[in-house]
Chains A and B, each alone.
Chain A
Amino acid sequence: MQKLLLLGDEAIAQGAIDAGLSGIYAYPGTPSTEITEYVMHSKEAKSGKVVASWGANEKTAMEAALGMSYAGKRAMVCMKHVGLNVAADAFVNSAITGANGGLIVVAADDPSMHSSQNEQDSRFYGKFALIPILEPGNQQEAYDMVHYGFDLSEKYGIPVMLRITTRLAHSRSGVALKESRTQNEIRLPENLRQFILLPANARRQYKHLLTNQAAFISASETSPFNKLTDHKDKSIGIIACGLAYNYLVENFAGHEVPHPVLRIGQYPLPEKMVRDLYDSCDSLLVLEDGYPIAEELIRGFMNNGKPVKGRLDGTVPRDGELNPNIVARALGLADTRGRDIPAIVSSRPPSLCKGCPHIYSYNALNEALASLSKGRVFSDIGCYTLGALEPFDAINSCVDMGASITMAKGAADAGLVPAVAVIGDSTFTHSGMTGLLDAVISKSPITVMILDNATTAMTGGQNSAAVGKIEDICLAIGVEKEHIRILNPLQKHHEENLRIMMEEIAYPGVSVVIPRRECIQTAARRLREEKKKQETSKAEA
C-alpha cells in the first residue's frame, strides 16, 4: 500500500483525484487554499484533464461546481468558512436542486482565528441547508471521506459538505491511497426541470429534501465514521467530534479511554447512538472544535435531562480551538502546562515584507490625509490589512471582502467627506466591483485605492482575476477617465504619488487611484523560475 506524507488539505485533493473528480473550483482562502493548488500541480489530474480553477469569488466557484454536477460529473468546491457566506446563496439552493454528479463542498473553518475575521462554524451551514456533513478526524479520514462523500452525494442526489479546521488542513501525516477510479461520463439529470427553482418546482424539490432527512440520519447511524465504544466508567459519556477525538485519546496516552465514547465524523447526528450513550451514562461531555452545535442540540432549550457539559456550561472555553490540555481540564485531569513565557518576550505580529509596494502606498496616503481628522480610511482583506499595525496605523476597518468601498460610500453618505477605500486587486474583482457601481451611481465623494500587486498575495500568490483589467472595469462601471490614476509605489516617486493622491482625495466624486507594482514575493518567485528555465534550456542546448 502506497503511503504519502500529506497535509489534510492535500489528502482531500488526492482523495478527490483518486475518487474520479472532474472539476475543482475555489477562491483562495486560508486554510483551504492548498486543496486546489495540489490539484493544479498534480500530474494525474493534468493527464485526466481535471479542471482546476480559481473563481472570481466563492459564489462563482460554487456555481461552476454545481454546473459540473448538473452535467453528471464529480465536482468539488473549496473555500474558507467566511467564503461560504459569499457562496451561501448558491450553496443553500444547491441543496434544493440537489446534485447530479457527486458534489462536495469543502468548508475550512478557522477556530482561534489564526487567519480570519471570525470563527464561525460551517456545520451550521450544512445543517441550515439540510445536507449531510462529513468531518474528518485525521489526514487518512480526510482522504477516505472524499471517496465516501462522492458516493453519498450520488446515492441521494445531494451536495455533501466536508468540514475541516485549520489544524487538520495544515498538519501532515501518512496517508494510504486507494485505487483510483474513472471520472463520470457527461450525463444530464433525468428530469431536466430538476434545477429550475421556480416556486412550484422548488416546493416539490424541497419536500423531497425534507423526506430525505430520515435517510441522512440513518446513513449517519451506520456510517463508518461514527462509532460508539463502550467502557466501564459511566459517570460520564463523551461525544467527540472530528479532531476532538484525538485530543481525548492523547490524554490517555496509549491506554483506553475509561469512559464510553461516541466518535462523530458524519452529520446529521446519529440520534440513536446519541440516545444510547445518554441512556447508559450519568452525564455527557461534548467535545467539538468550533461552536457548540452538537451540545446545543443534545442539551435543548429546557436543559432538564442529565447534565450535558461542554462549551455552554464553561467546562470547555466558549471560544477558540481545542487542544489536548483543554480536553484534560474538561476531564478533570492534571494540567501539564510547562513554565510560563518570560515577561521579556514581546509579541511579534506579522508585517509587510521589506520592499512591499503597500509600504509606499500607505506612506503616501498617511501624508495625503495628515491635515484631516483621523478615522476615514476603510480597508479590506489582504496583506494590506497589516496597514492597521505600526508603523502605519493607516486604516480604520477590515470587515469582509469588498466592504472597504461600500463602507466608505455609507460613511460619505453620513457626512464623512472625504472617505477613502483601500482594497487589493484580487479583492476588488472578488467583491469590490459591485460596490464601486453603487458609489458611481450615487456620485459618492470617495477615493478608492486599488492596490494592484497583480496577485492574491496573502494566500501565497495565486493568480488574480484582476490582472490587466482594472482600468477597463472602472471605466465600464462609470468612473471618469481623468479620475483613474496609476502610480508606481516606490520611494523615489513619493512626491508625485502624494500629489496625485491629494488631488483625487480633493475631488468631490468617485476617484480611483491604482498604485501598481508586482508583489515582491511573486516577483522573486517568477525570477527564480525564469532563471531555472534558462539554466535547463542552456543545459539541454
Chain B
Amino acid sequence: MKKDIILAGVGGQGILSIAATIGTAALSTGLFLKQAEVHGMSQRGGDVQSNLRISDREIASDLIPQGKADMIISVEPMESLRYLPMLSPDGWLVTNTKPYINIRNYPEMDKLMAEIEAQPRHIALDADEIARQMGSPKSANMVILGAASPFLDIEYSSLQDAIRSIFRKKGDDVIQVNLDALEAGRNFTTGKLNSRT
C-alpha cells in the first residue's frame, strides 16, 4: 500500500489539520509516514502545500516525485490546479470550490471551474457551504477530508478514531461536529461515484 498525497491551500487555511488526521490514522494502523510541510514566509496568505506520503514500506524521499501523486486534496479551487504536475495520470483531484480571494488577478470562477471539471478524475464540492449548513463553518476542512476518504485506502473507522484522538481535549461536541463533517464529505463523494455507475 502506498498513498502519495498533495495537500494544497492558502497559508492560514489549516491544511495541516487534514494532514494530522490522515497521519494519526496511518500511524495507528502501523504504516510508515513522511510529511513535508511549509513553514515561514508563505504561511502569510501565500500558496502552501504539504507532501504527505504513507506506505506499508519504508519511504525514501520526503518529496513526492512529480507525476506520482495519487491524490491532490485542496481546500481552495485555484490552488488545486497549481499542483497538477505532481498528479499521476490516474490520480484524483479532490477540491473545495469556495475561492479564497486575496489577490487582484484571481481567475474568473466559471473558467476556474471549467478547468477543474476538465480533469478526468475529480471531486469538487463547496465544503464551506456544507459545513455552514451543518452549523459548523469551522469544520470545512473535515468535509474535504471526508470527500477524499474513499480514495485513501485507510479504514474509515481509523479516520474517525483519529478525529476522536485529535479533538479529545476539546470535548464530545467538537468531536461530533467533526465526525459529522467527515461523514457529509464522504457522502458527497460516494453519491457522485454511484451516480456515475
Contact = CB atoms under 8 A, between A and B. Distances in A.
B35 to A, nearest CB: 4
Q: Is the interface of A mostly helix, strand, loop or mixed?
A: loop
B44 A459 contact: no
**Most B Cβ at <10 Å: residue of A249, A250, A350:** A350
A338 B86 CA distance: 6
Contacts of B27: 5, 174
A323 to B, nearest CB: 5
Given A171-B36, A336-B65, A345-B107, A351 B85 contact: no
Interface string A331-356: 00001111111101111111111000
Nearest to B78: A345
A507 B36 CA distance: 50
A483 interface: no
A325 B66 contact: yes
Interface string A348-374: 111111000000000000000000000
A7 B34 CA distance: 9
A340 B84 contact: yes
Chain B interface residue number, banded: 35 or more
A34 B39 CA distance: 10
Interface string A237-262: 00000010011011100100000000
Nearest to B11: A350
Contacts of B89: 338
Interface residues of A, number: 50
B50 to A, nearest CB: 9
Contacts of B115: 342, 344
Contacts of B104: 390
Contacts of B172: none
Contacts, number: 156
Contacts of B140: none
Given A324-B65, A346-B107, A171 B37 contact: yes
B195 interface: no
B46 A350 contact: yes
A306 interface: no
B112 interface: yes
B41 A115 contact: yes
A336 B42 contact: no
Given A346-B78, A351-B46, A31 B102 contact: no
B65 to A, nearest CB: 4
A239 to B, nearest CB: 17
B103 A346 contact: yes
B23 interface: yes
Interface in A293-346: 323-325, 328, 335-342, 344-346
Given A174-B33, A344-B115, A346-B107, A250 B65 contact: yes
Given A246-B61, A338-B67, A350-B11, 13 more contacts: A34-B39, A167-B62, A171-B35, A173-B62, A243-B62, A250-B65, A325-B67, A338-B85, A338-B91, A348-B103, A351-B46, A352-B44, A353-B45
